[in-house]
Amino acid sequence: MKLSYHGHSVVKVETDTHTILIDPFISGNEACDLDPSTVKADVILLTHGHNDHVGDTFEIAKNNDSLVVAPNELAGYLESKGLNAHPMHIGGAHQFDFGKVKFTQAFHGSAFTEDDGTMIYTGMPAGILLTVKGKTIYHVGDTGLFSDLKLIGEMNEIDVAFVPIGDNFTMGPEDALIAADWIKAKTVVPVHYNTFPVIEQDPEDFASKVKTGKGKTMAVGETLEV
């Protein structure tokens, strides 16, 4: 399985049979190296409804006839717009043909802002545990530090965790280091930083301070094998 990072919280997972995109914020994300008109995705996984995470889901899903897996209210909204969406909720897991998905809690908000400024409530935000052929990827999503991250780490053998470090809207580096200790992933990759001035951080400094597992920064477009 190949994992690649594409700026902000965008992660691509490539298996033998499927290409999976998580939170495909491409347009408006100057750090992203993907093109929403040409990127391939069999599946799109969404952590929550904020525009910088839903991103280009509509265009990508329509171009590829992608299945979109999202928290219940967000999935319902996407279905109302003509997408093929599978609704889930926190604590729930489902075995798909591409792998197993389980949504975890995240402490954040979730609303999608339409072009006319209308804000649509999209349910509770979440993190995502994706398990494919015995390997588990944890996309923590946008969240502050919370103690059940320790329980998630105890219940799952996590190979790679994508952890937000930007501060202001999510955990900052200090709290993210505590989260990394609790999650106990073999590899910890910082995400959700440097997209906007208010979330500027030093990912190398964060990675060097990870004590539990290996901290690793990923350049945009870089691939990691698991």
Strand residue runs (E) in the chain: 2-5, 11-14, 19-22, 43-45, 67-71, 84-88, 93-95, 100-105, 111-113, 119-121, 126-132, 135-139, 160-164, 187-191, 214-215, 223-225
Distance, in Å, from the CA atom of 102 to the CA atom of 136, rounded to the nearest integer, reads: 10
Tell me the three state secondary structure of residue 111: strand
SS3 breakdown of the chain: % helix, strand, coil, rounded to 5? 20, 30, 50
In the chain, which residues have pLDDT < 70?
A: none
Structural domains present in the chain: 2-220 (3.60.15.10)
Return the closest-CA partner of residue 219 out of 66, 210, 139, 207: 207
**What does the pLDDT read at residue 225?**
95
pLDDT per residue over 136-175, tens digit each? Answer: 999 999 999 999 999 999 999 999 999 999 999 999 999 9
**What does the pLDDT read at residue 211?**
97
**What does the pLDDT read at residue 1?**
95
